[in-house]
Amino acid sequence: MVFDWFKRALAQPAPTPEPEPAAAPAPEPVPEPEPESPAESEAAAVPAAPEAVAPVAVPPSAPAPVGPAGQGVDEDALAWARQAYARLKAQQEAASQAAAPAPDPVPTPAPAAEAPPAPEAASEPPPAPETAAPPAASGLSLLEQAAAQRQQRLLEITAPAPAAPPAATATPLAAEADVADPSLGAFDDTFTWSAEVLAAQGRSVEDVSLEEIDWLGRLRRGLEKTRKGFVTQLLENLGDDPLTPAVLDDLESTLLRADVGVKATDQVLEALRRRLNEEVVDPAEGLRFLKEQLRGLLEEPIRAGGTALLAPQRDRLNVWLLVGVNGVGKTTTLGKLANLAVRSGYSCLIAAADTFRAAAVQQVSVWGERSGVAVVANPSANADPAAVVFDAIGAARSKGTELVLVDTAGRLQTKHNLMEELGKVRRTITKLAPEAAVESLLVLDASQGQNGLRQAMAFASAAGLTGVVLTKLDGSARGGVALAVASEAGLPIRFIGAGEGIRDLRPFNSFEFVEALLAS
């Protein structure tokens, strides 16, 4: 099953029910299996076989009191979570049963068949004479040798597509990705909170996926450091009494300590003061109103950009540049984005344009192998980044690739010569592929707080930024910097990273972020 994270919908919503109607067509009445498909979802939710009821009947007794104590989960929300858990449990069991027959036919003579490939490997070394070809061109000038090497690189980039060896390497990579698939855990407070967040967004039980449940749990854990200081002080300030001007003063200091920023803090407090002038606000209503204000701050630059969710456009070349200072995690973020694009059904290519940092190309190559994505690089030291991007766009056009991710060298916002080099890369893309959809994403380390905000302001004016990727939220108590970036820099946050795993980077959702930030 392919889950398109750029659309937040299942690309193939009903792969499991389809085989069942396939067996039903034996009888001629076709309309009968159609009503069975919705009935099956209901049966999987509650009246399924005792196997599905048994795992669900035990946990609700424990989390039932936890839900209302946490965020006031009512009985309807808890019942919704139980149905979602039962459905995911049934899907997981069906998937395990479907995978069971696969291991049964284990051919023992397969190793014998693998023995012949050894001589094939012996037949492969003879291409070593190809390395002898360059010496023949030693009589050429340096410019002619460089042109010959460039042409050879372009041929190597375009040739591997139809070749068989890459397909062999893609198989183990896909197997590793399948092993890393999330599994359904216990019916605990984390699951009920994740289900409640999805239900609050209008999702139905049939649309809930294990990918989303797993990500919401990771996001909640990633914001734990920020939440411990922020929410604890917030709840202490709100207390059980109606909001007063003194409480707002304490709330102001709490927001500033969380690196929410001066402008965002002033906007939130001004809205709360106007609300206090109209009516008496109790703590629960104050918390709900605060969430609305924070979501409004985060969504304002997204609405101004006209794109609610940044996604590669189908049947069109998309070029995304990742920029930022040294050490913020640009290369790691690029590898996670490549994995996200592949798992969402897009064809992807990586351009290793960070040619100055030691072992940067090797690091990008490792990320490409983990995601099964081809990497275009120049092995020579201090190569021209624009030349690498030139080769990558040519390779993407020849293969029909939809997304090209460009890894750029880290640079300080005060180094004008390096910023001009970044502009050269942009001009190369514009000249070579004017029809491409180009995005320039700034990677920010959440732990840098207000310094990251200054970086965003500087890069926005010099690099033509279109969005921000906020990383390392799990290692910082300054997750509120997301609000400062959105309100003061006016940049939409497009992706957030809340962990070190390859799946710990997802498209930004303001509702889920605020709920995870203020989860009690």
* Binding-site residues for GTP: 324-331, 407-411, 471-474
For 41, 56, 74, 143, 363, the CA distances from 66, given in Å and listed in that order, are 27, 16, 11, 71, 44
Q: What are the φ and ψ backbone dihedral angles of 282, each rounded to 5 degrees?
A: -85, 165
For residues 50 and 42, give the distance between their C-alpha atoms in angstroms, rounded to a whole number.
14
Which residues have C-beta within 8 Å of that of residue 248, sequence separation ≥ 6? 269, 272, 273, 276
Write down the H helix ranges in 239-383.
245-257, 262-278, 283-305, 330-343, 360-371
DSSP one-letter string for 58-125: SGGGTHHHHHHHHH---HHHHHHHHHHHHHHHHHHHHHHHHHSTTTSS--TTHHHHHSTHHHHHHHSS
Token pair belonging to 408:
């750029």
For residues 117 and 221, give the distance between their C-alpha atoms in angstroms, rounded to a whole number.
47
Ramachandran region, residue 490 (left: φ > 0; alpha: ψ -120 to 50; beta: rest): left
For residues 294 and 264, give the distance between their C-alpha atoms in angstroms, rounded to a whole number.
8
Residue given tokens 């979802």 in the structure block: 41
For 322, 381, 446, the CA distances from 358, given in Å and listed in that order, are 18, 9, 25
Handedness of CA 273, 277, 278, 282 (dihedral sign): positive
For residues 488 and 456, give the distance between their C-alpha atoms in angstroms, rounded to a whole number.
10
Instruction: Please report, in range form, the residues annotated as the binding site.
Output: 324-331, 407-411, 471-474
Determine contact, residues 335/419, Cβ cutoff 8 Å.
no
For residues 231 and 227, give the distance between their C-alpha atoms in angstroms, rounded to a whole number.
5
Going through 455-492 in order, the beta strands assigned E by DSSP cover 467-471
For residues 334 and 160, give the distance between their C-alpha atoms in angstroms, rounded to a whole number.
22
Closest of 441, 239, 245, 218 to residue 337, by C-alpha? 441
Q: Give the single-character DSSP code of 486.
A: I
For residues 353 and 349, give the distance between their C-alpha atoms in angstroms, rounded to a whole number.
12
For residues 277 and 275, give the distance between their C-alpha atoms in angstroms, rounded to a whole number.
5
